[in-house]
Amino acid sequence: FNMPSSLRLLAAGSVGGCVWYLERRTIQELPHRVTRLFRNVNNQWVMVQHLSFLKRMYVTQLHRGLSQRVKPKPEPATSPFLEHMSSGQARAEVDELPSLSASSLPLSQKPNEELMELKAASIVEHAVDTAKETKEERQWKEMKLHADDLPGILARLSKIKLTALVVSTTSAGFALAPGPFDWSCFLLTSLGTGLASCAANSINQFFEVPFDSNMNRTKNRPLVRGQISPLLAVSFATCCAVPGVALLTWGVNPLTGALGVFNIFLYTCCYTPLKRISIANTWVGAVVGAIPPVMGWTAATGSLDAGALLLGGILYSWQFPHFNALSWGLREDYSRGGYCMMSVTHPALCRHVALRHCLALIALSTAAPILNVTTWAFPIISLPINLYISYLGFRFYVDADRRSSRKLFFCSLWHLPLLLLLMLTCKQRPGREGDKGEAPS
């Protein structure tokens, strides 16, 4: 009974379970993103309800005030309003009310019912207006950073869930690499990659504030909401990048460190600006996604073998059905925000590329045993899921509608962790090269 291989299986199992859990949580969150239209409508409905409640509240106050004004007593109408408002807003109300009370004086002397009703209507309208403004003013927040908010803010700034997925692909790369499994190296690699990913994501958000504000998917990010200053975001990114890369370079090996720096550069300085210049950004982004598992492999072996490139290739190909399907539903936001995406500028190419890369996944899975990364069991047992995603890719290519794009996107979310898990279970054991169809021990 081989100790290292059981440890490897344990790591594989825990990695797979972790990835599966995270993917499930992402899936649970995705309906929010994909059905954002429904949520917007819902939010508007809630606001209408709130406004009508406020309107009712002010109308009852007004009726009290109006009944007081019918008697010929020059009473200022400020008191019913001030009772229900904070001092900050009262000032705004007092500015507007004198004009009302001045014009209402002649009315109180000549009670004309029709005029009163019209005035009441305009007062109510004004009250609703005021209510809206009051509500808006309450939405102003002080830009003061509280220490207990900071962890949550930094987690959102660094896109912690995406970082976790990136670290899990790196772990998969590490676990798939040949050689004895070194726990300390594994932990250092995961930590270093995680820090590098946090840094890259923070810089990405730093660059994209006005664009993120205009897209529903991204409008609640910390910099958009002003919860953190740009200076702090950049400082945080530096404080993650420097230790992260140092950890990878000196704690693991220089090759992994170099790949980490290169990936940060590629993501922040190439992919992010390129999103607004050319559709080539999708291909650059796919490389960014492919590098972490390569880093995991180089961390374990210290060299860039064919196996590392194969793993990178699988992640590279996976990005296309994943992203192209996602971008299909965001075409309006991309067009308005000025993002150059295939789904907007070259829709046919978008679907064609997605299908092409689904088929490439089958080819790459077949190449795995040839390069001694896995046994021949792998292309066989991964065939069903690869064929399924290719089928969905084909449907997306032919139908070109929102339904098929959503199906393909959701499939890609479970397809990748499952594929990596299968790879890990079919990993080629040392000294058994050439064995075909061997069941994992």
Among 74, 230, 254, 430, binds another protein (CB under 8 A): 230
102-127 b/e (C-beta count within 10 Å ≥ 16 → b): eebeebbeeeeeeebeebbeebeeeb
For the bound state, the minimum distance from the C-beta of residue 73 to another protein, rounded and expressed in Å, comes to 26
For the bound state, the minimum distance from the C-beta of residue 185 to another protein, rounded and expressed in Å, comes to 36
CB distance 131 to 54 below 8 Å:
yes
Q: How far apart are CA 354 and CA 317, in angstroms?
A: 9
Applying the rule CB under 8 A, the residues between 397 and 426 that interact with another protein are 400-402
CB distance 311 to 368 below 8 Å:
no
For the bound state, the minimum distance from the C-beta of residue 226 to another protein, rounded and expressed in Å, comes to 4
CB atoms within 10 A of CB 40: 11
Segment interacting with another protein, rule: CB under 8 A, options 212-220, 318-326, 420-428, 432-440: 212-220
- Token match 């019209």: residue? 118
Residue partners of 84: CB distance under 8 A and separation at least 6: 57, 61
Applying the rule CB under 8 A, the residues between 120 and 139 that interact with another protein are 122, 125-126, 128-129, 132-133, 136-137, 139
Q: How far apart are CA 335 and CA 328, in angstroms?
A: 12
Selection from 300, 212, 182, 201 nearest residue 244 by Cα = 201
Among 177, 344, 354, 411, binds another protein (CB under 8 A): 344
Among 31, 74, 179, 273, binds another protein (CB under 8 A): 273
**Between 34 and 419, whose beta carbon lies closer to another protein?**
34
Among 3, 140, 147, 183, binds another protein (CB under 8 A): 140
Residue partners of 138: CB distance under 8 A and separation at least 6: none
Residue 338 makes contact with another protein by CB under 8 A: yes
Segment interacting with another protein, rule: CB under 8 A, options 70-78, 222-230, 414-422, 431-439: 222-230
For the bound state, the minimum distance from the C-beta of residue 309 to another protein, rounded and expressed in Å, comes to 34
Residue 217 makes contact with another protein by CB under 8 A: no
Specify the 3-state DSSP secondary structure of 314: helix
Residue 147 makes contact with another protein by CB under 8 A: no
Segment interacting with another protein, rule: CB under 8 A, options 4-12, 94-102, 157-165, 360-368: 94-102
For the bound state, the minimum distance from the C-beta of residue 199 to another protein, rounded and expressed in Å, comes to 15
Q: How many residues does the chain have?
A: 441
CB atoms within 10 A of CB 434: 6
Concatenating the DSSP letter of every residue in 225-273 gives HTSS-HHHHHHHHHHHHHHHHHIIIIII-HHHHHHHHHHHHIIIIIIHH
Selection from 407, 382, 381 nearest residue 396 by Cα = 407
Residue 213 makes contact with another protein by CB under 8 A: yes
| Interface size with another protein, residues (CB under 8 A) | 53
Residue 94 makes contact with another protein by CB under 8 A: no
Q: Which residues bind another protein (CB under 8 A)?
A: 88, 91-92, 95-96, 99, 122, 125-126, 128-129, 132-133, 136-137, 139-144, 206-207, 209-210, 213-214, 219, 224-226, 229-231, 234, 273, 276-277, 329, 331-332, 334-336, 338-340, 344-345, 347, 400-402
